A and B are shown apart, each in its own frame.
Chain A
Amino acid sequence: MSFLEFLAGRWTEILGLTLEHVVLVVISTVAGVLIAVPLGLAITRIPALGRPVLGFAGVIQTVPSLALFGLLIPLPFIGGIGSRTAIIALVLYALLPILRNTVTGVRQVDPAILDAANGMGMTDWQRLTLVEVPLALPSIFSGIRIATVVGVGLVTIAAAVGAGGLGSLIFRGLAMLDSRLLFAGAIPSAILALLADAGLAMLESRLVASRGASTS
Chain B
Amino acid sequence: MTGVAISFREVTKSFGDKRVLDRVTLDVSPGEVLVLLGRSGCGKTTLLRLVNRLVDADGGGVFVGGREVADWDPVELRRGIGYAIQGVGLLPHLSVGDNVSLVPRLLGWNPDRRRERAAEMLRLVGLDPREHGDRRPDQLSGGQRQRVGVARALAADPQALLMDEPFGAVDPIGRRSLQEEFRSLSRELRKTVLFVTHDVTEAFRLADRIAVVADGGIRQVGTPGEIADAPADALVRGLIEGAA
Q: Give B residues with C-beta under 8 Å from A.
A: 52, 54, 74-80, 83, 85-95, 98, 101-103, 105-106, 111, 114-115, 134, 152, 162
Contacts of B105 in A (CB 8 A): 216
Mask of A115-133 contacts with B, CB within 8 angstroms, 1/0: 1111111110010001100
A sample of 22 cross-chain residue pairs with beta-carbon separation below 8 angstroms, ordered by A number, consists of A113-B90, A115-B54, A116-B90, A117-B91, A118-B78, A119-B52, A119-B54, A120-B83, A120-B102, A120-B152, A121-B75, A121-B76, A121-B77, A121-B80, A130-B102, A135-B91, A135-B93, A212-B94, A214-B94, A214-B98, A216-B111, A216-B114
Closest A residue, CB atoms, query B153 = A120
**Cα–Cα distance between A122 and B78 once the two chains are bound (Å):** 8
**Cα–Cα distance between A118 and B95 once the two chains are bound (Å):** 19
Taking a contact as CB atoms under 8 Å apart, the answer to whether B106 and A134 are in contact is no
**Cα–Cα distance between A115 and B93 once the two chains are bound (Å):** 16
Taking a contact as CB atoms under 8 Å apart, the answer to whether A119 and B78 are in contact is yes
**In whole Å, how far is A163's beta carbon from the nearest beta carbon of chain B?**
40
**In whole Å, how far is A140's beta carbon from the nearest beta carbon of chain B?**
14
Closest B residue, CB atoms, query A135 = B93
Taking a contact as CB atoms under 8 Å apart, the answer to whether A211 and B93 are in contact is yes
Contacts of A118 in B (CB 8 A): 54, 78
Residues of A43-79 whose CB lies within 8 A of B: none
Residues of A102-116 whose CB lies within 8 A of B: 110, 112-116
Closest A residue, CB atoms, query B95 = A214
Taking a contact as CB atoms under 8 Å apart, the answer to whether B83 and A214 are in contact is no
Contacts of B92 in A (CB 8 A): 113, 135
State which of B80, B83, B106, B111 has its C-beta within 8 Å of the C-beta of A116: B83
Q: Given contacts A119-B85, A216-B101, could you give 16 more A-B pairs where the C-beta distance is less than 8 Å? A: A112-B85, A113-B90, A116-B88, A116-B89, A118-B78, A119-B54, A119-B89, A120-B103, A121-B74, A122-B75, A134-B93, A135-B93, A211-B93, A214-B98, A215-B94, A216-B111
**In whole Å, how far is A106's beta carbon from the nearest beta carbon of chain B?**
14
Contacts of B76 in A (CB 8 A): 121
A216 touching B98 in the complex, CB below 8 Å, given contacts A116-B83, A119-B54: yes
Determine the main DSSP class of B at the interface with A.
mixed
Interface centre among A114, A120, A130, A134 (most CB of B within 10 A): A120
Taking a contact as CB atoms under 8 Å apart, the answer to whether B52 and A113 are in contact is no
**Cα–Cα distance between A27 and B76 once the two chains are bound (Å):** 43
Taking a contact as CB atoms under 8 Å apart, the answer to whether B78 and A113 are in contact is no
**In whole Å, how far is A126's beta carbon from the nearest beta carbon of chain B?**
7
Taking a contact as CB atoms under 8 Å apart, the answer to whether A123 and B91 are in contact is no
A212 touching B114 in the complex, CB below 8 Å, given contacts A119-B78, A121-B77: no
**Cα–Cα distance between A116 and B87 once the two chains are bound (Å):** 10
Taking a contact as CB atoms under 8 Å apart, the answer to whether B89 and A112 are in contact is yes
**In whole Å, how far is B199's beta carbon from the nearest beta carbon of chain A?**
19
Interface centre among A116, A130, A131, A135 (most CB of B within 10 A): A116
Contacts of B86 in A (CB 8 A): 112
**Cα–Cα distance between A115 and B54 once the two chains are bound (Å):** 8
Taking a contact as CB atoms under 8 Å apart, the answer to whether B91 and A131 are in contact is yes
**In whole Å, how far is A162's beta carbon from the nearest beta carbon of chain B?**
45
Closest B residue, CB atoms, query A120 = B103
**Cα–Cα distance between A109 and B54 once the two chains are bound (Å):** 18
Contacts of A117 in B (CB 8 A): 89, 91
**In whole Å, how far is B18's beta carbon from the nearest beta carbon of chain A?**
20
Mask of A79-113 contacts with B, CB within 8 angstroms, 1/0: 00000000000000000000000000000001011
State which of B77, B98, B106 has its C-beta within 8 Å of the C-beta of A122: B106
